[in-house]
Amino acid sequence: MAAQRFYHILHVATSAGEREKVVQGLFDNFLRLRLRDSSLGTVCAALDWLAFEDLLGQAAYHSQSFQLLRYQPFLPVAFHLLFASSHVPRIAFPSSQQEAQNRTSQVQNLIQTLVSGIAPATRSRTTPQALVLDTLCLLLDILVPKLRPVSTQLYSAREKLQLASLVGTMLAYSLTYRQERTPDGQYVYRLEPNLEEVCRFPELPARKPLTYQAKQLIAREIEVEKMRRTEALARNGDSPQVDRSPPRAKGPQEGAGEKGARSPTPCSHEQRLERILKRAALEDQTERDFFGRVVIRRAAALSAEDTAPETDAVEQRMGTAVGRSDVWFRFKEGVSNAVRRSLHIRDLL
């Protein structure tokens, strides 16, 4: 009888098409069966057979020793001899491997998103493996300070310093709180990226989270700090660059009575454009008296420093067009191989 069962199960396992699904099904369901061995010797033997099947597959595909694949159908035979019973067991479709792969892919994408958003100064000192093993678990404790749910103006100096340190840490790791709506209609703030999915096991008790008001306050301070840093970078980018050319040698008569460097004077075309813009803006203004009535006669006079000789009608039209236009051009010296053509402003008006 045992020999007949052996060859029958071996024939069925050999003729089965999806061998990996069969092995995965055996792995997912053999612990749900009724075990007659109280010492769990059959469980240990089944695990040894599973490890043997993995070693066979590794040796066959890595070293191209495909003659070893003929021993893989013996795994279902061994499971049949170990766990076969007269009653029909409840067998579930194997899904643990797919769930583990989806979970692994989700965690890897989350870690990749986190690493790509980290500031370069912090990213240069860490690796994804060091983040998962050493940093993220402790970082979750750092992100849960004791903050009072009041306005920041009522905070003490220590609390303001603690809040600023928290905001700086979250910006360094590209973390923030996003408002989401739950299926029951409530609004909550969730950490993005969600580090708890990486370094927290679902069976462990969760730590006491921050209140809704504290998360809202932290999210607002993070947005304000982002805008402040963006404005600082824009201001530094728009500031004129310092001339780092080596100073030329001065003669004895050139630097004798000089006490400070003079500010560079604007070019003549800049002065002319500035006068045109001021005149156009002054002409477009509507003058009113004390009671708010429009004055028909305009008595406008430029200041002494802005006084310039009268210009022709073309220059007045040019000043009006430049003053009302939202498009400005800045000429930069360089070389271009494009077709050049002489073009005047009066041709565009």
Residue 211 has pLDDT above 60, yes or no: yes
Q: Please give the helix or strand (H or E) that residue 220 lies within, else none.
A: helix 212-238
Q: According to the per-residue pLDDT averaged within each range, which of 189-203, 213-227, 253-267, 316-330 is highest?
A: 213-227
DSSP 305-338: TT--PPP-HHHHHHHHHHHH-S-----------S
Amino acid 48: pLDDT: 92
Chain length of the chain = 349
Question: Are 197 and 136 in contact, with CB atoms under 8 Å apart?
Answer: no
pLDDT band at 256 (very low <50, low <70, confident <90, very high): very low
Torsion of CA 207, 212, 213, 216, to 10 degrees: 100
pLDDT band at 314 (very low <50, low <70, confident <90, very high): low
Amino acid 142: pLDDT: 85
pLDDT tens by residue, 11-55: 888 887 788 888 888 888 888 887 777 788 888 998 999 999 889
pLDDT tens by residue, 135-169: 888 888 888 888 887 777 888 888 888 888 988 88
Q: Which residues pair with 176 in a beta bridge?
A: 192
pLDDT tens by residue, 57-77: 888 888 888 888 888 888 888
Helix 74-83 / helix 2-15 crossing angle, nearest 10 deg: 140
Amino acid 208: pLDDT: 78
Residues 226-259 as b/e (b if ≥16 CB within 10 A, e otherwise) read: eeeeeeeeeeeeeeeeeeeeeeeeeeeeeeeeee
CA distance 36 to 83: 9
Amino acid 294: pLDDT: 67
Ranges 147-151, 242-246, 285-289: which has the least confidence: 242-246
Amino acid 315: pLDDT: 54
Written as six digits, the tokens of 54 are: 């993995």
**pTM exceeds 0.85, yes or no:** no
Strand pairing category for 187-192 and 176-181: antiparallel
pLDDT band at 339 (very low <50, low <70, confident <90, very high): low
Q: According to the per-residue pLDDT averaged within each range, which of 140-154, 253-267, 280-294 is highest?
A: 140-154
Which residues fall within 8 angstroms of residue 24, CB to CB, at 6 or more apart? 94, 96, 97
CA distance 275 to 271: 6
The percent of residues above 70 in pLDDT, for the chain, comes to: 72
pLDDT band at 325 (very low <50, low <70, confident <90, very high): low
Amino acid 299: pLDDT: 45
